[in-house]
Each structure stands twice: as structure tokens, then as C-alpha cells.
Amino acid sequence: MRRPSTLVGVLLLVLTLISCGPWRVWSWSSSLCKQKNLEVRPHSVSITEFGAVGDGVTLNTKAFQNAIFYLNSFADKGGAKLFVPAGRWLTGSFDLISHLTLWLDKDAVILGSTNPSDWPVVDPLPSYGHGRELPGGRHKSLIYGQDLTDVVITGNNGTIDGILISNLTFLDSPFWNIHPVYCSQVTVKKVKILAPLDSPNTDGIDPDSSDNVCIEDCYISTGDDLIAIKSGWDEYGIEFGRPSTNIVINRLTGKTAVSAGIAIGSEMSGGVSEVHVQDIRFFDSYDAIRIKTSPGRGGYVRNVFVSNMTLENVNTAIRFTGLYGEHPDDKYDPNALPIIEKITIKDVIGQNIKRAGLLEGIQGDNFVNICLSNIILNVSSSYPWNCSYIQGYSDSVSPEACKPLKERIFPEHCSDCYYLSNQLQSSKNQTRAGQISGCIRS
């Protein structure tokens, strides 16, 4: 924990799930965000059956731990549900199990204890080296799990084959709110995440070395990145080698006063690819879309597609930072240069934007095939674009893009840009599917 503030909410979740399931490789399709309903859990208990008291004062850590220990006996019998009724349930860290639904009733509040002894310290993540949050370790999350599959955390009784977090509010986390790491098949849907706009490191949702992740219909307002896609830190992330791939983000709304609406990095040493973002609204924010990396990171960011974005009162619409710095230690290889390529951003409108783009690559390591299309921004700065060490194309961009991006996306450049095929577009956009300035692919 960074700060000793009270952790309050319908559910506060700083979720660290390790090896959530088999490392399956899915064929990339529009069905990623479609939920698969399973049978209702045949076994259910209430937290009150294990002595929990929802008065906001009684510590219920043992009650949560004992209840989940009991429910573990039903893991191979169709799974189980732990019901949390209305009340204020104070607790320290507790572990989840596979085939479990943690179901919060209306007006149920899980409160994280402010006593440091209720937050055990565990080993750092192997892809981060000495640790990102705490040198040599990390505090266990309030709700924690390792080697899990088929976990549901929700306020409605529904499940999918994987991990589902839905219909909940997360309030005043001391660090990253939802952090699925080394996971497959994750859905975060219809959640609200709130933290003070001046609270550092309170990222909303951070898919980390995870694949097949769907984030949709969420509202996030925090003091850091609303969504940050990660995959390990410098030499540790390179060695661990687990990328984040097949990430879908739909219908996200929010604000952040000092960071980005959607960020990739800065820890991206295992690689990030196949990121599809659409129907986004950011307001009263610092950056909208940002890629953060540095010499020493290695890894790659490629095949990113952002479309249908509305911005209001945003400092910088598009920002790439090639010299972000922040290394875990001095053992990194400064010659491990990241590959940033095939980033497409299209169909963007913005009002009261200070700067259209600040795109800074790395000398000797240009960011390439950056493609911008149909972007109209009302910009107040006399110098709307500032670009260095990048290469790409643009079409129908106002204010006119910087010189390295001024070449238009004619058909001969179609293969240089990343864009979606017809089956990946939402139905309302099918008439324009797969098109960027005349580039059409079925």
C-alpha cells in the first residue's frame, strides 16, 4: 500500500491473478466479448454463516478465509458461490479459489483494512524483477488469487468460462485497481472505478502479460492511467516473455487529470499486440491515447487500432513517449530497443484540445507505420503537432499532421497500416469496415 487511506466501495479490488488458466491461443474474432452463460453454482453460502459482521468495524478476514476454504471442497462439484449481503464488511487480504462466484448484494460494501499487518507481503512478480510497488516484494491484494480458472466477481448472477468482473464499483484504491496478470479469458464489464484525481498510481484496469481480455461499458476516473496495458519490465519482462495480446476495449468513458485515458506501457517488455479500441469518450483529461516506452525496454507494440473517439477538454490527444525512463535497476540493456509499429487511430473528434499530438520516438529506433485518418480536433496551440523519430501516413487530419505523417494513405500504403477486417467491426460500422482512405480488405 502506498497510503493509509480507507479503502471503501461496493468492492475494492486490486486483483493480482497469476496463471489464471491455461495459456490458450484463441483465433482473433469479434466473439471475444460475447459472454458464455454457464449453470448457476449449485452450492452457495453467506459470509454471515462464518461469523462475519457487517458493521464496518469488526474485522472479517478470518470469516472470508474460512468461507472460501469451506467452498473449496465444491470446486469439482460444479463450483460454489460466496454471497455477501448488504452491510459494511471490513477485511484484510483474502484469497480466491477456482470455480468460485463472489456475489455482492445491493448495498454490500467490502472495506479494506487500514492496518498494514492485514496486507501480507509476497514475492514480486517475476516479470518485474525486484518489484513495481514495493522493493523486493509486493503487498497482497485485497482480493487475491493464484493459478485460478473460472472466477466470477459480480453484483449479478452470471458467469463466463474464464474470469468475469462486472456490475461493481471500486473506490479509493491505494494502487492499481484491477490487475489481471498472466491471465487468459478476462472480462471486465460495467464497472465504475473512482479515485481522487490527485492520487498517484491508482490505475483503473491494467491487463498485464494477459491475453483475450475484454473491457467494456466502464466509467473510470482516477489519478493515473484509466487503462494501462503492460507486459513486464525491462530485462525481467524480456526473459519472462509473456505478451499481452487480443485486448478489446469498448465503450469506455472517463477522465484523468495527469495521465492517459488508454496507455500502453511503460512496462511492455514482453510485447503488446492486437489491441482494438472503439467508442471512447475522455473529458477533462491530460492525454487521451499514450504509448510509453524507453531504451532498455525491448519488446514491441504493434497492431493497435483505435476508432470512434470523442474528446473534450484534453491536453494532448495522441502522445508517444520514447524516453520514459523508470528502470527497475541498473541491469537493463540500453541497447534493447522497443519496436513500435502499425498503430492506427481513426475517426476522432475533439473540442478544446490543447495539442493534437506529441509523438516522440527514439533516435535510431523510429516508430513506424503510424496511420491517422479522419481526425478533427479543435486545437488551441499554435504548434498542434510535435513529432520526432516517427514515420507514417495520414488522411483527413485537422490540424494537418506533422511532416513525418503528411504522406497520405493511398492504396499502395495499405499494407503498411493496421486495420480491421469486416468481421471485427461493430454492426453499426459495417458499411465502413476495413476502410482507411480507400484501403479495403474483406
Distance from C-alpha of 272 to C-alpha of 254, rounded to nearest angstrom? 23
Contact 61, 87 (CB under 8 A): no
Q: Which of 220, 381, 367, 216 is nearest to 304 (CA)?
A: 367
**DSSP codes of every residue in 166-206:** EEEEEE--SS-SEEEBS-EEEEEEEEEEE--TT-TT--SB-
Distance from C-alpha of 191 to C-alpha of 184, rounded to nearest angstrom? 19
Q: Which of 126, 4, 120 is nearest to 65 (CA)?
A: 120
Quick one: cell of 235? 530485462
In one letter, which amino acid is 32?
Answer: L
**DSSP codes of every residue in 314-374:** EEEEEEEES-----SSTTS-TT---EEEEEEEEEEEEEEEEEEEEEE-BTTB-EEEEEEEE
Element (H, E) at 236: helix 234-240
* Residues forming the active site: 224
Element (H, E) at 237: helix 234-240
Distance from C-alpha of 227 to C-alpha of 225, rounded to nearest angstrom? 5
Distance from C-alpha of 290 to C-alpha of 408, rounded to nearest angstrom? 23
